[in-house]
Amino acid sequence: MSLHKRPDLKVSPPLRCWELESAPARPPGYAFEYLIETLNDSSRKKFFNVPRLGGTKYDVLPYSIRVLLEAAVRNCDGFLMKKEDVMNILDWKTKQSNVEVPFFPARVLLQDFTGIPAMVDFAAMREAVKILGGDPKKVHPACPTDLTVDHSLQIDFSKCAIQNAPNPGGGDVQKAGKLSPLRAQPKKLPCRGQTTCRGSCESGEPGRNSGKFSSQIENTPILCPFHLQPVPEPETVLKNQEVEFGRNRERLQFFKWSSRVFKNVAVIPPGTGMAHQVNLEYLSRVVFEEDDLLFPDSVVGTDSHITMVNGLGILGWGVGGIETEAVMLGLPVSLTLPEVVGCELTGSSNPFVTSIDVVLGITKHLRQVGVAGKFVEFFGSGVSQLSIVDRTTIANMCPEYGAILSFFPVDNVTLRHLEHTGFDKAKLKSMETYLKAVKLFRHDQDNSGEPAYSQVIQIHLNSIVASVSGPKRPQDRVAVTDMKRDFQACLNEKVGFKGFQIAAEKQKDNISIHYEGSEYKLSHGSVVMAAVTSCTNNCNPSVMLAAGLLAKKAVDAGLHVKPYIRTSLSPGSGMVTHYLSSSGVLPYLSKLGFEVVGYGCSTCVGNTAPLSEAVSNAVRQGDLVTCGVLSGNKNFEGRLCDCVRANYLASPPLVVAYAIAGTVNIDFQTEPLGTDATGKSVYLQDIWPSREEVHQMEEERVILSMFKALKEKMEMGNKRWNSLEAPDSVLFPWDLKSTYIRCPSFFDKLTKEPVALQPIEDAHVLLYLGDAVTTDHISPAGSIARSSAAAKYLTNRGLTPREFNSYGARRGNDAVMTRGTFANIKLFNKFLGKPAPKTIHFPSGQTMDVFEAAELYRKEGVPLIILAGKKYGSGNSRDWAAKGPYLLGVKAVLAESYEKIHKDHLIGIGIAPLQFLPGENADSLGLSGRETFSLTFPEELSPGVTLAIKTSTGKVFTVIASFENDVEVTLYKHGGLLNFVARKFS
């Protein structure tokens, strides 16, 4: 079986999973067949000429809305997509924000953490369909689905040394602890006396003449830049990959089973690359072709940063697991026809500003403007100044400024990039012809030719300065020149998004540590973790090469990174290792501790080995505000490590710079990074690479042959994955002893027909939460604390703490995930008055873990609700943020307002989203959360209906049932999406 389908492979459109008797027997697009034309390039390729439908109305539509319109026209069947929906999109100018429209994306992208629950649900649905008398073989995704295994990587090894014993994981995979014989460890080759030799392969010391480098691909020998001889692949990569395969063997076998038995599912195994980068380099079509019909590429997926592909002119965004499963089953995504904010870019950035600085500048600006729930579309002369990698990096940060997506239409820059990365020239020509025919191609022009946007804002690129973002939120941008002053202010400020409230007399405290035979001092602002991570920057060679050049200059100047700082380099794919190696900068990064540790999410999602005991003890002893600096996109407090309180997002070269400095409490303009061998001070400006240096290296090293070779490598797969055994039975053979894969209980009480809605009677409040509770607070993520309910479960199954792995790796086990729901140490429950993953079981008065309290309520037959404030469920959309509460016994959430995706997830799993009337909340109604709540649903439940809630104190008040349309009401009546679909298959 080949690893993956080619991006240009024609995929026959499958039948949607529920062709109900009431559905019309009409093919998609039937109402607009008259718009089909032949492409004017002497080919048989056809397309829907949508501009003919709207005339001048079409011409003023934003490009992103034109893509929505084309999908609506092509999929119009009079049932799931109605002609009325098409006309609503065409009338976007007057209908925006007022109507809901369906959208059929061309494909789905999953990553393994969020993908495994979806595939487990499909496997469990096969069981349920069989029990109800249906044919389980009919259960397949209807939409082409790619699943990239990129989140299971953990950094067990770094800096060419074993820093922590590997965690083999659960089950019997401990036997896989030794390195695999699949890849023998080659011996290091001695120097053979080349005249260019200026160093030693053994010592890794850099030389002055790196010579010329031949191309190499990850998993083939790297050419030593000091000796021009093959050397082994980085040992840490091999070791981390080996442990990854051992630790996650059960999950990988399940993925391989899924790719065998489910049609339209392709799995890209570990060690290949990060989902977003693989999406850009390999999976993206830009224009799809099915049976000679051309249409725009589009994608939704289970990661909020799917938005990255919008930089390539591909419409896409993250929608969370439950909605993604619906798309996989042939249902459209439903969205309110969005406002589109036109962002005009003018000018060009100064030489010291990277694309990451542009990203952080745009992020802060758009946050201030307020683009939540909207599309953002870029136009203006400044757009042409941005490369595709710049655009994709900007689009990648879209969730951090709250928009649904940020769209860059296809233009000449896009076509040059696609040609550079190996797209077939004939297909490129057809693509260009098609996009121009349907007016989806952006031309450089004056503003009079731009669409009519809902709102227009201007950003001057030359006004953006070098910045970082933090210490707790990605939108809190700080100019590098203001960093020292800002950090000092954070120490003084009261505890909050920008404050730590450290007493003035303690702000100068430092704690001595002994590490590897030397003594160091830690203080507030000390950097203890520095990571160049996969997600945001690795698609961008310019910033990665800038980091490498800065590292080279730093090493040449005699600078180093203190050994206790947890440093790592986790590329998005072998492509990055390729060009960093061929350009000769990889050894310098490694010399500073930034050695390649593997390919996938790592530090950014908390998948890093713990800090050394000496460092963590010192942090706790001094109550120090130590720092992590990473080139990722998430920096919530406690996300990277529970004892690292301040986290800053920065461009890769700045990550390296702050690691060398060892502190964020520094003014780079006036304070040196260190001294050279002569004792002379070395400042950041002394080693900062010029834009010309970076550009020249990028032009020389990021070449077409690399993209072609990597695509061929992906087709071939790798030895570990290809040799992995997996079943191919119709039903998955669940292993009752497994702690990774378990048949979930969502279908346990499934009946052939839905039962009438039951009242919620005498429900206790499980948690009383405030404003802006995020899915990070709700959903299990990161490491499994030893004192947690999930840890107790795993311990009872015979595992040791070293074998716990992470919540992300165990997302296929509902027992672990339920116990990890609301287990975030920063969860603030008003019942307790302090952050803790605890609550009160009111019948007994005991304070206990949230899961343990929920279990007691379940045994007592008591239903549960959650009280919350504004913006409940904000942040990344995660299916377990809904599934977990459901399995805890939560029947309803009562909040002031919701983040839309999370509200949709609650409905999709069968939890009622209730909303206080405008101006009311728990405080204004005098609710303590200690009383019980009762409500009854009307027999004819309708969108937006009001319900009366009665408490045990006798208080009666009215709330809104926050269902927005009849589809949501139908799903809730069925007990959620999964039950609804299972019944249709039966």
pLDDT, tens digit, 9 for 90 and up, residues 74-121: 999 887 899 999 999 999 999 999 998 999 999 999 887 778 888 999
pTM, whole model, 2 decimals?
0.71
Task: Give the residue carrying structure tokens 């590098």.
Answer: 480
Report which residue type is found at 904: D
Q: Is 299 helix (H, G, I), strand (E, B) or coil?
A: strand
**Torsion, Cα of 339, 343, 344, 350 (10° steps):** 180
pLDDT in tens, 240-259: 666 666 667 888 889 999 98
- pLDDT of residue 416 exceeding 70: yes
Q: Which residue has the higher pLDDT, 146 or 201?
A: 146
- The β-bridge partners of 624 are none
pLDDT at residue number 18: 40
**What are the distances in angstroms from CA 771 to CA 113, 661, 869?**
27, 37, 4
Location of structure tokens 């009665």: 950
Tens of pLDDT along 700-757? 776 665 666 666 666 666 777 888 888 889 999 999 999 999 999 888 888 888 888 9
pLDDT digits (tens, 9 = 90+) for 513-569: 999 889 999 999 999 999 887 555 445 788 889 999 999 999 999 999 999 999 988
Question: For domain 467-689, which CATH number applies: 3.40.640.10, 3.40.710.10, 3.40.50.20, 3.30.499.10?
Answer: 3.30.499.10
Helices 850-859 and 880-888: angle between axes, nearest 10 degrees: 40
Tens of pLDDT along 853-894? 999 999 999 999 999 999 999 876 678 899 999 999 999 999
- The whole-angstrom separation of Cα 970 and Cα 212 is 65
CA nearest neighbour of 293 among 8, 46, 27: 46
46-48 and 36-38 beta bridge pairing: antiparallel
pLDDT digits (tens, 9 = 90+) for 397-415: 887 788 999 999 999 999 9
Q: How far is the C-alpha of 234 from the C-alpha of 760, rounded, in Å?
A: 58
Tokens (6 digits) for 804: 């716990």
> Over 90: is that where the pLDDT of 932 sits?
yes
- Confirm if 241 and 720 have CB atoms less than 8 A apart: yes
566: nearest Cα among 599, 533, 528, 597: 528
Name residue, tokens 């009001």: 946
Contact 245, 270 (CB under 8 A): yes
State which fold the 760-779+821-985 domain adopts.
Aconitase; domain 4 (3.20.19)
- pLDDT at residue 402, as a whole number: 82
Residue 532's closest CA among 545, 523, 519?
545
| Contact criterion met (CB below 8 Å) for 484 and 666 | yes
DSSP string, 101-167: EEE--SEEEEEHHHHHHHHHHHHHHHHHHHHTT--GGG---SS-EEEE--S---BSEETTEE-S---
Q: Which two tokens stand for residue 828?
A: 């603030």
Comma-separated ranges of CATH 3.30.499.10 domains in the chain: 467-689
State the span(s) of the chain assigned CATH 3.20.19.10.
Answer: 760-779+821-985
Q: What is the DSSP string of 14-43?
A: PPPS---TTS-S--TTGGGGGGEEE-TTTS
3-class secondary structure, 927 = coil
Mean pLDDT of the chain: 82
Q: How many Å apart are CA 576 and CA 598, to the nearest integer?
A: 11
Cis peptide before 166 (omega within 30 of 0): no
How many Cβ atoms from other residues are within 10 Å of residue 358's Cβ?
A: 23
Determine the angle formed by the axes of helices 321-328 and 900-909, rounding to 10 degrees.
Answer: 70
Please, what is the Cα angle at 384 between 383 and 385, to 5 degrees?
A: 90
Three-class secondary structure of residue 219 per DSSP = coil
Q: What is the DSSP string of 417-476?
A: HHHHTT--HHHHHHHHHHHHHTT-B-----GGGS---SEEEEEEGGG---EEE-SS-TT-
Tell me the DSSP string of 721-774. HHH------SS----TT-SS----STTTT--SSPPPPPPEEEEEEEEEB-S--B
